[in-house]
Copies of this chain bind each other. A is one copy, B any other.
């Protein structure tokens, strides 16, 4: 995803949030943040306001949902996996890069748990990854860089599994409403665009 670099890490805790306690099922959650100099112009640290920005919250909720959609929570057992996505360099696509990288970190953590005989099998049903698609004057653009993202009329984020299922579909415009048939075209382009991304995930996992 262009010049974007995101550090993705998975941490295991042997407990679950209060609302899940005693049900024998697990949880996957995510935090997302950007270093102040990940962008061209330095941004201030969220710790200084004591609030997670609306944008960061939206992204980390999206990452968490995307991973939970492919996790077999009963097979994970009463454990929480905490995913950290920290953007080191940002050049557009930080949220889709975070989902894609977070899956790799999650899979690696699960493989380690299997090796340590904590769980019997990796409780992940399919690989999951994400890509953005923009509409700029009726033309579709795959994997927007920052400049394209800024210009596009409509922004889509598409989160899919490796076997073509949709996990999350978000299309938004602040400029011109878009027509219904565009949605199918967006999904088709995203599916094609995700093929090399799933390959890159498989290679990253092979190397471990």
Contacts and interface: CB of A to CB of B under 8 A. Distances in A.
Interface of A: 7, 9, 11, 31, 33, 35-37, 42, 45-52, 54, 57-58, 60-61, 65, 68-70, 82, 84, 86, 88, 126, 160-161, 164-180, 182-184, 187, 191
Nearest to A51: B51
A51 B52 contact: yes
Nearest to A9: B37
B173 A167 contact: yes
Contacts of A88: 7, 88
Interface of A is mostly: mixed
18 contacts: A7-B37, A9-B36, A9-B42, A11-B37, A33-B47, A36-B86, A47-B50, A48-B52, A50-B51, A51-B51, A58-B58, A65-B173, A65-B174, A69-B175, A69-B176, A166-B171, A168-B173, A169-B170
Contacts of A31: 36, 45
Contact of A35 (B49, B84, B183): B84
B47 A54 contact: no
A175 B66 CA distance: 10
Nearest to A68: B174
A42 B65 CA distance: 21
Given A7-B35, A51-B52, A126-B177, A168 B172 contact: yes
Contact of A177 (B35, B82, B165, B170): B165
A164 B187 contact: no
Contacts of A50: 47, 49-51
A121 to B, nearest CB: 19
